[in-house]
Structure 1
Amino acid sequence: MEIRTLKTFVTVANLKGFTAAARALNTVQPAVSRQISELEQELGVSLFWRSTREVRITAAGEALLREATEILAHEERTRHLVRQTGEGRLGRLRIGFISSAVQPFLPGLVREFSTCFPQVQVSLYEMTAAEQHKALEAGQIDIALSRALPLTASDYFESVELYTDHLVAFLPEGHALASEPEIELFAMSPHPFVLFQREGAPDLFDQVVSACLRAGFSPQTVVQPNSMQAVLTAVGSGLGVTLAPACIRHLNTVGCVSRAVIDVSETIPLQLHFRGDRIEAATRAFVTLLRNRSKDIRKDMELRDCPGGGLAHRARCDQYTE
């Protein structure tokens, strides 16, 4: 039984006539009669009693009418479901993120996305950069808001740069170096360092160590926490100093002060990554939203980090305050 034939049957049954059904279906009466006859032959029963005065449905026809009505309703629901999913209005969206790097803008973006696509289930997963890369590769998340992908990343990954961060010093309150608004990196050399674990963000770890080596010293690492919040907690507890992305100022910095580092030029991009080889409609819709908001995100994040920034960074920020 074809869907088209069932629709014809239900129309004849509801309108109690072949001619009326033909008009409703925008076809001719012989075509309707032919479809009903073929359906009756296929099922081996009569579905209608026909006379010159009326068309009455048989008991077998009544049974088919109940089932056909449910089938057609389910078919319509299925069409709607598939159409909505294909347009990104149904389904799921799994986002991996670095909390310190996205806290100022991600909640607003998710709210905006959910307003436009209320039936898409959004899930958020806080992950390190390395964890996001693995999860994206394995299909466990759809979007990664992370650092630049390693050079070994697969060709099917696509990326959108959102903003560029920079390294600043975080010191315990009352630290000897905290009296200056800007410091030289070598001035931190006698002090113990708290560094984020390399496994979670190898590129960032290597950038920090390389900057120290260029300044003429190797950092004396005493603690290696597995989250940026734990890094700040260790610094605020007086365990050491650190060099970290400016964005972590948005976390709990109790006991810490941040200072610009004059002779550090490393930049740290925050990017959106997704798999271009199998992108779902909901993912594409979120990528489009982020592309449309990227300029505002970049402007807002750079303005947020202007206070206390180094000379070069303040020059970048001036373009927004002139």
Structure 2
Amino acid sequence: MPQPAVSRYISALEQELGTTLFVRENSRNIALSESGKIYFNLFQRFNAELTNIRRMLSTSTTILRLGYNVGWNVSYFLPEVVKRCKSIDPDFQITFECLGFKELTHSLEDKRLDAIITTDDYLENRTEFVRRKFTSIDRIIVYSELIPNCETINSPKDLCNYTFYMVDDPRIGELCQDIEILFRPYGFIPKFTAVPNISTVFANVENGLGVAVLDGWYQGIHHPGIHTLNLCENLPISMAWHRSTTSQAIELLYSQLASYFTTE
């Protein structure tokens, strides 16, 4: 840097700080003033702290925010998958959030979640998401032993006179059509009643007021007095994330999910 430019920068800095930073006996003999020494020590400490912060941030671990459906029992595989991820990358960290299918999709849109595990049908035509299937689960009918004539139920066709409870959802029309198709072989169209959430669905089922079509991961199916019928229909399950998201943690988690269900 030319000497005149150096002089201008020093002069501007002294003016900004309101003090003389250098003692100038002549052009060859320049030393820090007492104020200059104080500021020099301050900036040295600042530079050391800035270096430490940059080093800390460059090696910090990003926590993966994963969402999945409220009510799902994923404890038989997810802890093992996370363990495998940590064995590959000791810095791998993850947090979980349980939401309804609609809220999961919205949270992914708003980037409040980094990735979600959900059913494929909620991601159809969503080109802004990367969607990768890793397994399928059974669709089942769930009913309570408190339901009238419970002992006579042996097939889905025996449920033709019962109310089918389901979660009110923007896709409820499509969901009803899908379920109607499942029951065509049994010769009837289910009578649907929409309720606010999955807990309300199960409360009605548990108390013998009706039945519900759920999936094999729903934890309530293991409650005492609850019975199930398999509909011989698989529900594809995918992990999804926004296309604009680039994350090694996401790729690692998906690879270990896929590996777990391939070798299961």
TM-score normalised by length of structure 2: 0.73
Return the structure number with greater relative CO, CA threshold 8 A, min gap 6. Answer: 2
Q: Which amino acid aligns with 1:293?
A: L
**Aligned to 1:224, which of 181, 184, 194?**
194
> 2:219 and 2:263 mapped to 1: Cα distance?
17
CA gap 1:219/1:76 in 2 versus in 1, 3 angstroms: same
**Aligned to 2:157, which of 182, 186, 199?**
186
| Corresponding residue for residue 68 of structure 1 | 43
| Corresponding residue for residue 228 of structure 2 | 258
Which segment drifts farther, 159-168 or 62-71? Answer: 62-71
Q: How does 1:80-95 map to 2 (within 5 A)?
A: 80-84=55-59, 89-90=61-62, 92-95=63-66
Q: Which runs of 5+ in 1 are unaligned?
A: 1-30, 301-322
The answer on whether the counterparts of 1:130 and 1:201 sit within 8 Å (CA) in structure 2 is: no
> 1:226 and 1:137 mapped to 2: Cα distance?
22
| Corresponding residue for residue 259 of structure 2 | 295
**CA drift at 1:268:** 0.9
**CA drift at 1:59:** 1.2
**Aligned to 2:103, which of 126, 131, 151?**
131
**More strand as a share of residues:** 2
Q: How does 1:29-108 map to 2 (within 5 A)?
A: 43=13, 47=22, 58-84=33-59, 89-90=61-62, 92-101=63-72, 103-104=74-75, 105-106=77-78
Deviations 1:53-85 (A, max 9, x none): xx9754133222222123212321342244235
| Corresponding residue for residue 146 of structure 1 | 118
CA gap 1:78/1:140 in 2 versus in 1, 3 angstroms: same
Residues 1:272 and 2:239 aligned together: yes
Q: Which runs of 5+ in 2 are unaligned?
A: 15-19
> 1:240 and 1:112 mapped to 2: Cα distance?
41
TM-score normalised by length of structure 1: 0.62
The count of residues paired between Structure 1 and Structure 2 equals 251
> 1:227 and 1:257 mapped to 2: Cα distance?
21
The answer on whether the counterparts of 1:235 and 1:255 sit within 8 Å (CA) in structure 2 is: no
Q: Which amino acid aligns with 2:195?
A: P
